[in-house]
Amino acid sequence: MLEFNQVTKVYDGTEKAVNNLTLDIEKGEFIVFIGPSGCGKTTTMKMVNRLIETTEGSISIEGENIKNKDLVELRRTIGYVIQQIGLFPHMTIQENISLVPKLLKWPQDKRRDRAKELLKLVEMEESYLDKFPEELSGGQQQRIGVLRALAADPPLILMDEPFGALDPITRETLQMEFKQLQKSLHKTIVFVTHDMDEALKLADRVVIMKEGCVVQEGTPSHIVRNPANDFVREFIGKDRLVQNDPSNQTVEEIMNPNPVTVQEDMNLREAIKIVKANRVDTAVVVNEEKELKGFIDVDTINRYHRDNLEVGKVLKEFPIEVKKGTPLAAVIRKILVSEVKYMPVIDENKSLIGIITGASLADVVYESIWGEEEHQNGENETIGVK
Amino acid sequence: MSAYGVLFAALVAIPLGIFIARYRKLSPWVFSLANVIQTIPALAMLAVLMLVMGLGANTVVFSLFLYSILPILRNTYTGITNVDHSMLESGRGMGMTRNQLLRMVELPLALSVILGGIRTAMVIAIGITTIGTFIGAGGLGDIIIRGTNAANGAAIIMAGAIPTAMMAIIADILLGGLEKVLSTSKKKPDVSQKAA
């Protein structure tokens, strides 16, 4: 329905507001562009109705390049809602709603009927038709703003932070109303916002932008589960990220990536120093290539500390090792069944990449109950209980 | 007489104001020219115009025209440039042509401010018209001059001055009323005041 093909917008010759954006939008899809201010989301949207012209690349609607269309015709077939609402104060509500039909030279009766019909959609009474915008509340005004965009029944509607200027309660109401409306009318909607809650609530697909580029796109639940990078993670905000679903998690996500290790060829006295310095009861033994060999614990130390042996001679082997990428669910069961305290995580070369401890499992449980905030204070909780 | 001068001025100044509101780079030039005209004392203006156009009412009308340009021009410009940016954007976004935008959005919204300019011009014009008597244009100025020439003319002066003042006040009130009726953007009534 709407295609962006390598679209670039350059302001003042140097600054790239939008950089090589390619995106396909399906018919009936609700797309939300989101990002911090200056990320190019509004520019991207305004290029669709050519309030801003593209510098490079093309945008097409139903396969037709918008540059080949008459500017005025193009805009009359695209609904447009802005944050400042922009109702005309010298026109009645009816005149405001039926402005585009008027531009399209619909007869008067038809325009009035259409305005009535639209008011019904948002459950406002007909008596509003002859009122002026200033007699309406902010929320009502923006409802009219939305109706105005719908008036000529355009297949595509652009919305630039339409609910941004409203108070939180009104905003919420309008969001819900609008989502319902969109579902029943099957319009394609391009929506710009910087409010993540709004994006997640409304969108079929969220496009996260930063510095003119798309950082990540996907359904709200996909993005919340799999943020592409730290920027997205931070932008979504910790409390919205979904981490309470162990079935999707792998061992890497909960393991401690920096366990206390000792070298296989160290002598025990050195190893004890390390264990003591880190205040842990167990240390993982590896060789020079970081290949996993086993572990030493308080018991080992207690038994052999008088004989100055090499660590390699006294280590114990782990009863269970897990490969990276193993689903967490499987591991939890193993730990519960075998009653082992620690479980090293290794990669294909048998190199140690982390360790799962009782504490890691406890985190999983806590997170699923209270969210993420409390945990992560223990970089050096490392292997085992202090 | 006053009304003619203002009317002609409005016919020129309103389109000119719209024009410089669209091409804003021109506005300083146009405004300084209009300001220069405004600073010429009324008597001097009449005298100079009399040299070219001779005696009579036409000369007065023309000088009124010149004096009225600035207030009307300035208010038209202010009125149009003060139209909220979001109005223009939603207008354009809905597919209005440049002219439709002017006719359906900019002019209606600027109307009260433009009328404020006309009102100011009208009041100034009535004052200046009195001076027109010096170049034989007649009007209430004649009565005032006759009073100054008479031995004990205070009453005669009043007979000319009071109606003049009344005319100015009534014109001001009438136009002010019209302005209020047409002003739909009650949100910022101070714009016209400031501009006037």
For residue A363, give the nearest of A376, A382, A354 by alpha carbon.
Answer: A376
Give the A-side interface with B, CB within 8 Å.
49, 51, 71-78, 80, 82-90, 99-100, 103, 132, 134, 145, 148, 158
Cβ contacts below 8 Å, chain A against chain B, sum to 66
Rounded to an integer, the average pLDDT of A113-132 is 89
When mean pLDDT is compared across A207-221, A222-236, A371-385, B11-25, the lowest value belongs to: A371-385
When mean pLDDT is compared across A89-98, A325-334, A372-381, B154-163, the lowest value belongs to: A372-381
Whether chain A has a CB inside 8 Å of the CB on B107: the answer is no
A103 with B90: Cβ contact below 8 A: no
Nearest CB among A73, A76, A85 relative to B94 is that of A76
Residue type, B144: I
Rounded to an integer, the average pLDDT of A268-296 is 85
Exposed/middle/buried for residue A239 (C-beta within 10 Å: 0-12, 13-18, 19+): exposed
B93 with A73: Cβ contact below 8 A: no
Question: What is the C-alpha separation between A103 and A116, in angstroms, rounded?
Answer: 18
Rounded to an integer, the average pLDDT of A147-168 is 90
Mean pLDDT of the residues in chain A = 83
Angle at A29 between CA A25 and CA A33, to 5 degrees: 70
Rounded to an integer, the average pLDDT of A29-47 is 90
List of chain B residues with pLDDT < 50: 185-196
Structure tokens at A321: 């090792």
Q: What is the pLDDT of residue A188?
A: 92
When mean pLDDT is compared across A130-139, A299-308, B163-172, the lowest value belongs to: A299-308
Nearest-CA distance from B94 to chain A in Å?
5
Question: What is the C-alpha separation between A352 and A262, in angstroms, rounded?
Answer: 12
Instruction: Please enumerate, as own/partner, the contacts of A372-381 that have beta carbons within 8 Å and a separation of 24 or more.
Output: A372/A238, A372/A239, A372/A241, A372/A243, A373/A238, A373/A239, A379/A258, A380/A278, A381/A256, A381/A357
Question: What is the C-alpha separation between B196 and B194, in angstroms, rounded?
Answer: 5
Rounded to an integer, the average pLDDT of A144-172 is 90
A158 with B93: Cβ contact below 8 A: yes
- Picking from A49, A88, A131 by the largest number of B CB atoms within 10 A of its own CB, the best residue to mutate is A88
pLDDT band at A245 (very low <50, low <70, confident <90, very high): low
Residue B142's DSSP bridge partners are none
Q: Is the pLDDT of residue A283 over 70?
A: yes
- Picking from B82, B87, B90 by the largest number of A CB atoms within 10 A of its own CB, the best residue to mutate is B90
pLDDT band at A382 (very low <50, low <70, confident <90, very high): very low
Q: Is the pLDDT of residue A371 over 60?
A: no
Rounded to an integer, the average pLDDT of A236-262 is 72
Q: What is the pLDDT of residue B189?
A: 40
Structure tokens at A11: 């302001």
Nearest C-alpha in A relative to B91: A86
Nearest C-alpha in A relative to B185: A89
Which of chain A's residues have a Cβ under 8 Å away from the Cβ of B93? 49, 51, 75, 78, 80, 82, 158
Question: What is the C-alpha separation between B88 and B78, in angstroms, rounded?
Answer: 15
Where is mean pLDDT largest: A270-284, A330-344, B63-77? Answer: B63-77
When mean pLDDT is compared across A282-296, A311-325, B61-75, the lowest value belongs to: A311-325
Q: pTM of this prediction?
A: 0.66
Q: What is the DSSP letter of B135?
A: G
Rounded to an integer, the average pLDDT of A157-178 is 89
B95 with A51: Cβ contact below 8 A: no
Rounded to an integer, the average pLDDT of A213-221 is 89
Q: Is the pLDDT of residue A31 over 90?
A: yes
What is the distance, to the nearest Å, from the Cα of residue A72 to the centroid of all Cα atoms in its chain?
36
Question: What is the C-alpha separation between B122 and B130, in angstroms, rounded?
Answer: 13
Which of chain A's residues have a Cβ under 8 Å away from the Cβ of B110? none
Q: What is the pLDDT of residue B184?
A: 54
Percent of chain A with pLDDT over 70: 90
Q: What is the pLDDT of residue A293?
A: 86
Rounded to an integer, the average pLDDT of A241-249 is 57
Which of chain A's residues have a Cβ under 8 Å away from the Cβ of B186? 134
| Helix B2-22, helix B27-39: angle, nearest 10 | 160
Q: What is the pLDDT of residue B19?
A: 92
Whether chain A has a CB inside 8 Å of the CB on B186: the answer is yes
Q: What is the pLDDT of residue A244?
A: 47
